Structure 1
């Protein structure tokens, strides 16, 4: 199936909300996302409007979606810009200019179609094209139990770093960092 990979637009906040809520209902959502379905569904429309306007601006964060020929949104990925000295949004504070891939989701019926690979290509191309800051690496963090995600990240060229951390709320579980360095 052919997908159009593009940034989300501010006026598409309701569709962005629906896709996020679908992601939060995935069986692996509890180890893949930093929010619950219950918290997200309770947020007012104004939250979703502001969130979508922010990612649509594409300055410090951007969200790409995979749009099917029928207009449905079957996947998404977001990318955060992280700078040294700034407070960490996810994980540890950045040591170098970097981007951080978050919010990766592909609907079950679209898995295996190449959509995840296309979304990652868009995220990487956007990251490497930034001029200020000039990104030195792209990273992401995943839970050790998320084998599906780990395989996708390796396929996208990410390699393990030495950084691991306990999962918030479950000190026995671990999150691992994978990176892709600038070439």
Structure 2
């Protein structure tokens, strides 16, 4: 049974946020799973990580959830960005509706298949659906066209392809596929 605590990051946990992100960017599929390279992340100053942790710890525009093992090690993470109608989305273009956007999905290889990703998604979606302003109509994410493992995981959690396809930033010959889950009735 999974013994991890699933919770939002705290503002002072910037070093753990940085360590987990660096670990994610060392994963063999990082080049198709994340829009940032390992070199870019490692070059960022501590102030970037401090701001990132602080911004994802409270408020209603972004929240990062982590899976903390009993020994304190962070084994996974997912972040929810809130996109309001009229805002510009991560790939450009104005949003037509209020929605959540999951990014930075990562579980350490040794913890994959243990239910950790499901627990992280449950916390992220519970938080997203709990927002009263704005009330979200759906939660979406993007997956690289060649990231079959991630796509299968997202489908298991109820996300379905929307048909929206955007070019991968930095490689317009590759495609990012949008998946979404509607607000529960």
- TM-score computed with the length of structure 2 as normaliser: 0.95
- Where do 1:134-145 residues align within 5 Å? 134-145=135-146
Moved more, 162-171 or 73-82: 162-171
Match of residue 25 from structure 1: 26
State the 1:90 CA deviation. 4.3
Match of residue 120 from structure 2: 119
Match of residue 96 from structure 2: 95
Q: Deviations over 1:106-164 (max 9, x none)?
A: 00011011000100001110111000000000000000111111011011100110211
Match of residue 182 from structure 2: 181
Moved more, 89-98 or 31-40: 89-98
Moved more, 165-174 or 151-160: 165-174
2:161 counterpart of 1:164:
no
1:69 is paired with a residue of what secondary structure? Answer: coil
Separation of aligned partners in 1, 2:29 and 2:21: 13
Match of residue 39 from structure 1: 40
Separation of aligned partners in 2, 1:53 and 1:171: 33
What 5-or-longer segments of structure 2 have no aligned partner? none
Match of residue 74 from structure 1: 75
2:12 counterpart of 1:15:
no
Structure 1 segments of 4 or more deviating over 3 A?
90-93
- TM-score computed with the length of structure 1 as normaliser: 0.96
